[in-house]
Chains A and B, each alone.
Chain A
Amino acid sequence: MNDQVIKPTEKPQQIAEHIVEIVSDSGEGAQKCGQTFAGICGKMGNGIWTVEIIPAEIQPPARTPAGGSGNRIRMGSKIMTNMGDEADLVVGFNEQVLYARIANGAYKEGTIVLLENKWASDPQEKIREEYTSAVAEFRKNGLIVHELPLEEECLKIVSNARKGKNMFVLGMLCRIYNRNAELGLNEIHNTFKHKGEKIVKPNQDLFNAGYQFAKENLEYFYDIPAYDGAEEVLKNVIITNGNTSLGLGVMAAGMEMISMYPITPATSASHYVADVFHDVGGFVHQAEDEIAAIGFAIGASYAGKTACTITSGPGMALKTEMIGLAVMAEIPLVIVDVQRGGPSTGLPTKVEQSDLLASLYGEPGDAPKIVLAAATIPECFEFVIMARKLAEEFRTPVILLTDANLATGVQPWIRPEIKEEWFSAPVDQSPWNKDIPAYDWDEKTGLSQRPIPGQPDGMYVLTGLSHTERSKVSYNSETNQITSEHRSRKIAALQSTLKPPIVHGVDSQEDEGDLLVVAWGSTIGAIEEAIDVLREQGNKIASLHLRFMSPLEPGLPEIFSRYKKVMTVEINYSDDLNASMITSENRRYAQLANVLRAQFAIDIDCWSVVYGHPLQPGMLIEELTKRLDAVNVN
Chain B
Amino acid sequence: MFGIKADWSLEVFERYFTLDDYGAGGDVRWCSGCGDFSILNTVHRVLRDAQVPPEKSVAVSGIGCSSRMPHYMGTYGFHGLHGRALPIASGIKSRRPDLDVWVATGDGDCFSIGAGPWLHALHQNMDMVVLVFDNGIYGLTKKQTSPTTQQGTKTNTHPRGSILPPLNPLTITLGITNVSFVAQVVDWNPPLLYETIKAAHEHRGLSFVRVLQRCPVFSQEFTKPMQENPDKFVLLEHSEGINIDDNVKRLFSNVVEHDPSDWLGAMKYAKDEVNMPLGILFKDPDAIVYEDHSSVGLGMTNEEKVAGLNAAFDKFSI
Pair B296/A283 contact, Cβ less than 8 Å = yes
Interface-centre pick from B70, B93, B94 (highest chain A CB count, 10 A): B94
| Chain B residues positioned under 8 Å from A283 (CB to CB) | 94-95, 293-297
Interface residues of A in 389-426 (CB under 8 A from B): 412, 415-416, 418, 420, 423
Alpha-carbon distance A251/B304, docked complex (angstroms): 12
- Residue A463 contacts which of B79, B92, B306 (CB distance < 8 angstroms)? B79
Alpha-carbon distance A581/B79, docked complex (angstroms): 49
- Residue B58 contacts which of A240, A254, A297, A453 (CB distance < 8 angstroms)? A453
CB distance from B63 to the nearest CB of A (A): 9
Chain B residue nearest in CB terms to A281? B297
| Chain B residues positioned under 8 Å from A460 (CB to CB) | 76-77
Pair B91/A303 contact, Cβ less than 8 Å = yes
Chain A residue nearest in CB terms to B298? A281
| Chain A residues positioned under 8 Å from B58 (CB to CB) | 303, 453
Pair A322/B81 contact, Cβ less than 8 Å = yes
CB distance from A335 to the nearest CB of B (A): 14
Interface residues of A in 418-454 (CB under 8 A from B): 418, 420, 423, 427, 451, 453-454
- Name the segment of B82-90, B137-145, B210-218, B245-253 touching the other chain: B82-90
> Given A234-B318, A283-B293, are A299 and B310 neighbors across the interface (CB < 8 Å)?
no
Q: Flag whether B42 is at the interface (Cβ < 8 A).
A: no
Alpha-carbon distance A465/B60, docked complex (angstroms): 14
Pair A461/B84 contact, Cβ less than 8 Å = no
- Residue B96 contacts which of A277, A285, A453 (CB distance < 8 angstroms)? A453
| Chain B residues positioned under 8 Å from A325 (CB to CB) | 80-81
CB distance from B25 to the nearest CB of A (A): 11
Alpha-carbon distance A454/B99, docked complex (angstroms): 7
Contact mask A458-469 → B, CB, 8 Å, 1/0?
Answer: 111111110000
Pair B296/A453 contact, Cβ less than 8 Å = no
| Chain B residues positioned under 8 Å from A301 (CB to CB) | 91
Alpha-carbon distance A254/B305, docked complex (angstroms): 8
Q: Flag whether B73 is at the interface (Cβ < 8 A).
A: yes
Contact mask B89-123 → A, CB, 8 Å, 1/0?
Answer: 11111111011000000000000000011011000
| Chain B residues positioned under 8 Å from A451 (CB to CB) | 76
Interface-centre pick from B95, B117, B309, B318 (highest chain A CB count, 10 A): B95
Q: Flag whether A14 is at the interface (Cβ < 8 A).
A: no
- Name the segment of B31-39, B48-56, B195-203, B267-275 touching the other chain: B48-56
Q: Flag whether A346 is at the interface (Cβ < 8 A).
A: no
| Chain B residues positioned under 8 Å from A292 (CB to CB) | 84, 86-87, 116-117, 120
Interface residues of B in 38-72 (CB under 8 A from A): 53-56, 58-60, 70-71
> Given A280-B300, A295-B87, are A303 and B95 neighbors across the interface (CB < 8 Å)?
yes
CB distance from A609 to the nearest CB of B (A): 33
Interface-centre pick from B56, B79, B119, B304 (highest chain A CB count, 10 A): B79
Q: Flag whether B312 is at the interface (Cβ < 8 A).
A: yes
- Residue B318 contacts which of A39, A307, A416, A453 (CB distance < 8 angstroms)? A39
Pair A464/B80 contact, Cβ less than 8 Å = yes
> Given A299-B89, A299-B90, A461-B70, are A285 and B294 neighbors across the interface (CB < 8 Å)?
yes
Alpha-carbon distance A273/B54, docked complex (angstroms): 35
Chain B residue nearest in CB terms to A465? B79
> Given A412-B318, A461-B70, are A296 and B94 neighbors across the interface (CB < 8 Å)?
yes
| Chain B residues positioned under 8 Å from A281 (CB to CB) | 296-300, 304-305, 308
Alpha-carbon distance A629/B145, docked complex (angstroms): 67
Chain A residue nearest in CB terms to B306? A418
> Given A248-B313, A279-B308, A281-B308, are A300 and B92 neighbors across the interface (CB < 8 Å)?
yes
Pair B55/A454 contact, Cβ less than 8 Å = yes
Pair A453/B76 contact, Cβ less than 8 Å = yes
Contact mask A292-312 → B, CB, 8 Å, 1/0?
Answer: 110111111111110100000
Chain B residue nearest in CB terms to A234? B318
| Chain B residues positioned under 8 Å from A472 (CB to CB) | 71
Pair A461/B78 contact, Cβ less than 8 Å = yes
Pair A462/B77 contact, Cβ less than 8 Å = yes
CB distance from A146 to the nearest CB of B (A): 31
Q: Flag whether B302 is at the interface (Cβ < 8 A).
A: yes
Interface residues of A in 478-506 (CB under 8 A from B): none
Pair B94/A280 contact, Cβ less than 8 Å = no
Measured as residues with beta carbon below 8 angstroms from the partner, the interface class of chain A is 35 or more
| Chain A residues positioned under 8 Å from B308 (CB to CB) | 251, 276, 279-281
> Given A285-B294, A473-B71, are A453 and B55 neighbors across the interface (CB < 8 Å)?
yes
CB distance from A415 to the nearest CB of B (A): 6
Pair B54/A459 contact, Cβ less than 8 Å = yes
> Given A292-B84, A292-B116, are A280 and B76 neighbors across the interface (CB < 8 Å)?
no
| Chain B residues positioned under 8 Å from A299 (CB to CB) | 60, 78, 87-94
CB distance from B6 to the nearest CB of A (A): 27
Q: Flag whether B8 is at the interface (Cβ < 8 A).
A: no
- Residue B313 contacts which of A238, A321, A457, A465 (CB distance < 8 angstroms)? A238
Pair A288/B120 contact, Cβ less than 8 Å = yes
| Chain B residues positioned under 8 Å from A259 (CB to CB) | 91
Q: Flag whether B74 is at the interface (Cβ < 8 A).
A: yes
Q: Flag whether B13 is at the interface (Cβ < 8 A).
A: no
Alpha-carbon distance A325/B86, docked complex (angstroms): 15
| Chain B residues positioned under 8 Å from A282 (CB to CB) | 297
CB distance from B50 to the nearest CB of A (A): 17
CB distance from B140 to the nearest CB of A (A): 12
Contact mask A213-255 → B, CB, 8 Å, 1/0?
Answer: 0000000000000000000001001111000100010011010
Chain B residue nearest in CB terms to A462? B78
| Chain B residues positioned under 8 Å from A244 (CB to CB) | 316
| Chain B residues positioned under 8 Å from A238 (CB to CB) | 313, 316-318
| Chain B residues positioned under 8 Å from A43 (CB to CB) | 318
Q: Flag whether A455 is at the interface (Cβ < 8 A).
A: yes
Interface-centre pick from B70, B90, B295, B304 (highest chain A CB count, 10 A): B90
Pair B80/A256 contact, Cβ less than 8 Å = no
| Chain A residues positioned under 8 Å from B299 (CB to CB) | 281
CB distance from A246 to the nearest CB of B (A): 13
Chain A residue nearest in CB terms to B83? A291
Q: Flag whether B4 is at the interface (Cβ < 8 A).
A: no
CB distance from B308 to the nearest CB of A (A): 4
| Chain B residues positioned under 8 Å from A416 (CB to CB) | 313
Chain B residue nearest in CB terms to A257? B95
Alpha-carbon distance A239/B306, docked complex (angstroms): 20
Alpha-carbon distance A455/B99, docked complex (angstroms): 11
| Chain B residues positioned under 8 Å from A535 (CB to CB) | none
Chain B residue nearest in CB terms to A256? B95
| Chain A residues positioned under 8 Å from B313 (CB to CB) | 238, 248, 415-416, 418
| Chain B residues positioned under 8 Å from A603 (CB to CB) | none
Q: Flag whether A287 is at the interface (Cβ < 8 A).
A: yes
Interface-centre pick from A252, A277, A283, A460 (highest chain B CB count, 10 A): A283
A–B Cβ pairs within 8 angstroms, 15 of them: A240-B316, A277-B297, A291-B87, A296-B91, A299-B91, A302-B91, A307-B91, A415-B316, A453-B76, A456-B53, A457-B55, A461-B76, A462-B78, A463-B78, A465-B79
Assuming A291-B87, A296-B88, what are 9 further A-B pairs, CB within 8 angstroms? A256-B95, A276-B308, A298-B80, A298-B88, A300-B91, A412-B318, A454-B99, A455-B55, A463-B78
